């Protein structure tokens, strides 16, 4: 008589992988249909359907599914947003991320995966988003928590009170640099990025009324001057495009800093032979399939700073909403214990 196989491992993770795309589809459809805008207060499925022009019964099924994945709460037949949904998926929230999540999904999509694996990457695709769209969506991400992470790190530095001028290298829309400057009573800042992007950064500087403390500088970080006389240089997820020329860019940062200057880099650091963290590997998969080298190994930037001449570098991993992120704090001439 044939015996049943002995099984010592669960296939539950495989089942969860199969239904994972349903979760993202529910989220993106809720954003597309403006469902979350309707549910800051408890409402019935019929009321939501009437507001957004959808089928009442199927809307109820959809809302139940959103509740199942904890984007909504349901009580006595009425639905309302969960705290995370209220914070990030209601359009009039200052931390709204709906459009940014749609853009991220588009960037991360992996159509024709088996074809790519068989045939390799196609010719380099054109940029899918304009600088204006990119700046707007990444500004929303910075408003939703990224900027505060960096402000907390910088404001804890013992040198922070003495800072007079800082550079946000590859600063994009510039909200991180602006937030750091705003946390200091007198420091001024420069946002450096490609010319089309700094035009967008200028709009945010005006929006936040920081014209007297912020300026922009357009150029290529490898070829062009990034200025000088900085007490602090930030590079937040902006060094990847210089990976093959990293030492040259770090040397430029070194030369641009004052003698007691500080260089902070904040980026995705890959570990376990570039297979972890999971979220970092998966978020960058689409770009990797197109032939781009999308990440640094953990310690890659820190090693560069020491090769160039920084006297100390302290590194740690921060647990963020993006998952684990690497933070390197390099000092040009001094090393302060405990930092």
Q: Of 188, 326, 191, give the one whose Cα is nearest residue 266.
A: 326
Whole-number average pLDDT of the chain = 91
CA distances from 247 to 133, 308, 329 (A): 31, 7, 16
Q: Please compute, for residue 16, the number of CA atoms within 13 A of its CA located in the half-sphere on the CB side.
A: 5
Across 38-48, average pLDDT: 98
| Residue-level pLDDT at 129 | 59
> What are the CA-CA distances from residue 56 to residues 23, 52, 332 (Å)?
21, 10, 64
β-partners of residue 230 are: 257
Kindly tell me if the per-residue pLDDT of 126 is higher than 90.
Answer: no
Annotation: CATH topology of 12-91 = Arc Repressor Mutant, subunit A (1.10.10)
> Per-domain residue ranges for the chain?
12-91, 131-331
pLDDT at 339: 45
> 227-247: string of b/e by CB count within 10 Å (b at 16+)?
beebbbbbbbbbbbebeeebe
Q: Decide yes or no: CATH 3.20.20.480 for domain 131-331.
A: no
**Planar angle of CA 174, 205, 157, nearest 5 degrees:** 50
- Say yes or no to pLDDT of 315 above 70: yes
Whole-model pTM?
0.88
Q: What angle do CA 94, 129, 36 make, to 5 degrees?
A: 35
Q: Is the pLDDT of residue 127 over 80?
A: no
| Residues 147, 179 contacting (CB under 8 angstroms) | yes
% of the chain beyond a pLDDT of 90: 73
pLDDT at residue 337 tops 60: no
């Amino acid at each position: 008589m044939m015996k049943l196989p002995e099984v010592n491992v669960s296939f539950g993770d495989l089942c969860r992988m199969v239904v994972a795309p349903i979760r993202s589809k529910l989220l993106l459809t809720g954003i597309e249909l403006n469902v979350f805008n309707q549910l800051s207060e408890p409402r019935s499925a019929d009321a939501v359907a009437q507001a957004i022009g959808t089928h009442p019964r199927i809307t109820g099924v959809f809302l139940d599914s959103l509740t199942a994945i904890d984007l909504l709460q349901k009580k006595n037949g009425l639905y309302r947003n969960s705290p995370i949904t209220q914070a990030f998926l209601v359009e009039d929230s200052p931390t709204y991320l709906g459009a940014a999540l749609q853009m991220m999904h588009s960037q991360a999509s992996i159509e024709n995966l088996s074809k790519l694996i068989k045939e390799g990457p196609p010719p380099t695709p054109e940029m899918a988003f304009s600088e204006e769209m990119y700046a707007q969506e990444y500004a929303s991400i910075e408003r939703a928590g990224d900027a505060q992470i960096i402000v907390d790190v910088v404001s804890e530095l013992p040198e922070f009170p003495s800072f007079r001028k800082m550079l946000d290298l590859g600063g994009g829309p510039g909200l991180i640099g602006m937030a750091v400057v705003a946390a200091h009573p007198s420091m001024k800042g420069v946002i450096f990025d490609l010319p089309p992007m700094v035009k967008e950064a200028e709009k945010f500087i005006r929006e936040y009324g920081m014209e007297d403390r912020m300026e922009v500088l357009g150029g290529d970080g490898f070829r062009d001057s990034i200025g000088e006389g900085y007490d602090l240089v930030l590079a937040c997820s902006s060094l990847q495009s210089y990976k093959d020329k990293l030492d040259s860019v770090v040397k430029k940062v070194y030369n641009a800093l004052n003698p007691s200057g500080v260089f902070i880099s904040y980026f995705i650091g890959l570990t376990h032979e570039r297979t972890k963290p999971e979220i970092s590997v998966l978020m960058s998969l689409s770009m990797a399939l197109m032939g781009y080298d999308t990440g640094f190994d953990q310690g890659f930037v820190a090693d560069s700073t020491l090769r160039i001449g920084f006297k100390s570098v302290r590194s740690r991993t921060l647990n963020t909403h993006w998952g684990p992120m690497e933070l390197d704090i390099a000092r040009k001439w001094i090393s302060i214990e405990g930092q």
